[in-house]
């Protein structure tokens, strides 16, 4: 694997280098993936794969609603780090592109809608790119997904359209973050109340008491009558898979609720989860694990985003946990950068940050194409580097 010359990663990282690396990752995504929607000016979306297939080029295949939400969020990260007219324009054009390609703001998956809501919320707050009706529509959709089955929580996707019985952390976590932040924009008290109930539901139903990590979700007996069933007795099974992004969204929800309510329990839950990630998920070098390509390419980056948020927000009395969160991000970013490949357009990252990335087309004749082609994998790494840059620019403790 070819590496850029002149970087000795054993040396202490000087201030500013993570911003430079995040810039490089963002430019690479823009160069290889960003395209107009059906050639229309004033719109952008990310191609799902690079090099793109013919279907990708035509824009008629799958397009990844929630991947595009994270493309928007990463573009906002870059704007926050260094605001320029071009970065604001990309935020505006990706927002338009999502609306145009999807034909509406909503879809059938509540986790997807929470992610887009978070990105639109941040775009309004930071970059003056506002879609207030769309944001309220998405929030109202999440309110409507709540039922008292399984003791509460929102569904993963619309059960009126799919034969599904699943409630999970990847839907309730980002929804809780979005609703907890809503009050900053004049949202009703009901938004914060619902965010608290969502996070409490995760705590009660889906936190492993042995490790402190969040499980994936649970399956509900749809035939049980919630009016006459004791809370939780209609749970058919708990899906005890451990994903990095489940930990990230629960940490993010706890941080937002701590800031909104000043209730100490939320800081304590965030700290417990940060420590669990460090002891149960990270490797001996403090590097977060990967979850392959496809949707899994985003998981580690999401955890890194909310670890950086926690590191910045935790009160001084939790300085040790803040350092743990920072170190997890920085160790993972260093490993991802050290294992990058160099391809057309800039650095290329792999689905595992501890394994050297491969440039698509460089595989042997018998090897399957690498997950490096996936937009999700490149966005996950870009998100990680933006998280490292955020930690880098935090003022030192006073």
Kindly tell me if the per-residue pLDDT of 393 is higher than 80: yes
Structure tokens at 40: 């229309």
CA atoms of 170 and 173, how far apart (whole Å): 6
| Cis bond upstream, residue 51 (ω within 30) | yes
Q: Is residue 109 part of a domain?
A: yes
H or E, element range at 142: helix 132-144
Number of domains composing the chain: 1
Distances in whole angstroms, Cα of residue 320 to Cα of each of 30, 194, 333:
37, 31, 20
CA atoms of 70 and 64, how far apart (whole Å): 10
DSSP type of residue 114: H
Q: Is residue 10 part of a domain?
A: no
Whether the Cβ atoms of residue 94 and residue 102 lie closer than 8 Å to each other: no
- Residue 139 has, within 13 A of its CA and on its CB side, a CA count of 28
- Cα distance between the two ends of the chain: 42
Kindly tell me if the per-residue pLDDT of 237 is higher than 90: yes
What is the residue range of 41's domain?
A: 19-392
Q: Bridge-partner residues for 347, per DSSP?
A: 342
Q: Is residue 301 part of a domain?
A: yes
Distances in whole angstroms, Cα of residue 199 to Cα of each of 25, 101, 262, 379:
33, 32, 15, 26
CATH code, domain carrying 149:
1.50.10.20
Q: What is the pLDDT of residues 365-386, one digit of tens each?
A: 445 568 999 999 999 999 999 9
Across the range 77-101, mean pLDDT stands at: 97
Which pLDDT score is estimated for 5? Answer: 31
Total residues found in the chain within this entry: 398
Q: Is residue 364 part of a domain?
A: yes
H or E, element range at 194: helix 189-206
pTM of the model: 0.94
Q: What is the pLDDT of residues 276-306, one digit of tens each?
A: 999 999 999 999 999 999 999 999 999 999 9
* Among the ranges given (127-131, 354-358, 367-371, 383-387), the one the predictor scored with the smallest mean pLDDT: 367-371
Which pLDDT band, with edges at 50, 70 and 90, does 60 fall under?
low
């Amino acid at each position: 694997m070819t590496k850029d010359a002149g970087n000795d990663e054993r040396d202490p990282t000087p201030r500013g280098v993570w911003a430079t690396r995040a810039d490089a990752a963002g430019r690479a995504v823009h160069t290889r993936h960003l395209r107009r929607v059906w050639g229309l000016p004033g719109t952008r979306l990310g191609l799902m794969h690079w090099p793109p297939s013919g279907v990708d080029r035509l824009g008629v295949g799958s397009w990844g609603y929630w991947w595009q939400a994270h493309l928007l969020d990463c573009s906002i990260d870059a704007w926050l780090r260094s605001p320029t007219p071009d970065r604001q324009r990309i935020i505006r054009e990706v927002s338009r592109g999502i609306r145009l390609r999807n034909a509406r703001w909503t879809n059938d998956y509540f986790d997807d809608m929470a992610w887009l809501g978070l990105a639109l919320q941040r775009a309004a707050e930071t970059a003056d790119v506002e879609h207030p009706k769309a944001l309220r529509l998405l929030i109202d959709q999440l309110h409507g997904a709540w039922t008292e089955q399984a003791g509460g929580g929102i569904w993963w996707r619309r059960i009126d359209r799919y034969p599904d019985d699943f409630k999970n952390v990847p839907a309730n976590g980002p929804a809780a973050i979005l609703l907890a932040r809503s009050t900053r924009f004049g949202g009703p008290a009901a938004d914060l109340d619902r965010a608290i109930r969502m996070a409490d539901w995760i705590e009660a139903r889906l936190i492993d008491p042995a490790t402190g990590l969040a499980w994936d979700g649970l399956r509900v007996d749809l035939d049980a009558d919630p009016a006459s069933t004791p809370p939780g007795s209609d749970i058919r099974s708990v899906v005890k898979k451990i994903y990095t992004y489940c930990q990230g969204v629960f940490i993010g929800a706890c941080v937002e609720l701590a800031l909104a309510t000043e209730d100490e329990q939320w800081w304590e839950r965030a700290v417990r989860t940060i420590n669990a990630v460090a002891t149960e998920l990270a490797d001996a070098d403090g590097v977060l694990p990967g979850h392959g390509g496809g949707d899994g390419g985003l998981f580690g980056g999401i955890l890194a985003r909310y670890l950086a948020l926690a590191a910045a927000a935790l009160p001084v009395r939790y300085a040790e946990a803040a350092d743990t969160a920072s170190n997890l991000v920085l160790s993972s970013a260093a490993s991802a950068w050290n294992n990058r490949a160099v391809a057309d357009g800039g650095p290329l990252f792999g689905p595992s940050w501890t394994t050297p990335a491969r440039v698509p087309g460089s595989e042997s004749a018998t090897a399957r194409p690498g997950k490096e082609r996936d937009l999700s994998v490149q966005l996950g790494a870009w998100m990680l580097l933006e998280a490292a840059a955020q930690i880098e620019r935090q003022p030192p403790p006073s």
